[in-house]
Amino acid sequence: MARIGGDEFVVVLVGQAGAHEVGNTIQRLLRAISEPIAFDDFSFTLSASVGISLYPDDNDDPDILLRNADQTMYLAKRSGRNQFMFYSQELQEKAEQRGPMVHELRKALEHGDITVHYQPIVNLATGRIWKLKPLRVGYTMNAALCRLLNSFR
């Protein structure tokens, strides 16, 4: 296991008999991570989202395997906490299709075509803002953005 940054870690499993055994190992890891942790009068629980890329099935280049696992981890995270997913070519193709849309949406944000309004979430005990929740998105559609968004329906 190695920490590669922030809250991201890489686990390299050796000697696994295949995807089924890797899945079983990751399920045991997720159960262990989600066990409650007691500290003073508090109890904490953690969760993890795991993207799995298999050698040599998915690639034999370590950098590509890591990139595949990273992209798959984000998909697992979006589908719910404490999940794992295996990389597949289909997932890769979907990620590549989203790339231009993400680029266009970022450009629209930079040019003021999209505005995001946030609702503060306040910690009642301290009276301080704890986090911000996106409340509403307003947008001005240009023709290119309309075509792009329609292409993903």
Distance from the first to the final alpha carbon of the chain: 40
**For the chain, percent of residues with pLDDT exceeding 70:** 88
pLDDT of 63: 94
Mean pLDDT (the chain) is 85
Whether the ω angle into residue 36 lies within 30 degrees of 0, i.e. cis, is no
Structure tokens at 98: 């989203």
More confident residue, 47 or 91: 47
- Give the pLDDT of residue 103: 81
Q: What is the pLDDT of residue 101?
A: 77
Buried b (16+ CB within 10 A) or exposed e, 83-110: bbbbbeeebeeeeeeeeeeeebbeebee
Q: What is the pLDDT of residues 1-59, one digit of tens each?
A: 888 888 889 999 998 889 999 999 999 999 999 999 998 888 989 999 999 999 999 99
Is residue 22 packed enough to be buried (19+ CB in 10 Å), middle (13-18) or exposed (0-12)?
Answer: middle
| Residue 97: partners with Cβ closer than 8 Å, 6 or more residues away | 152
- 92: which 2 tokens? 């890769």
Percentage above 90 pLDDT, the chain: 42
Q: Is the pLDDT of residue 153 over 60?
A: no
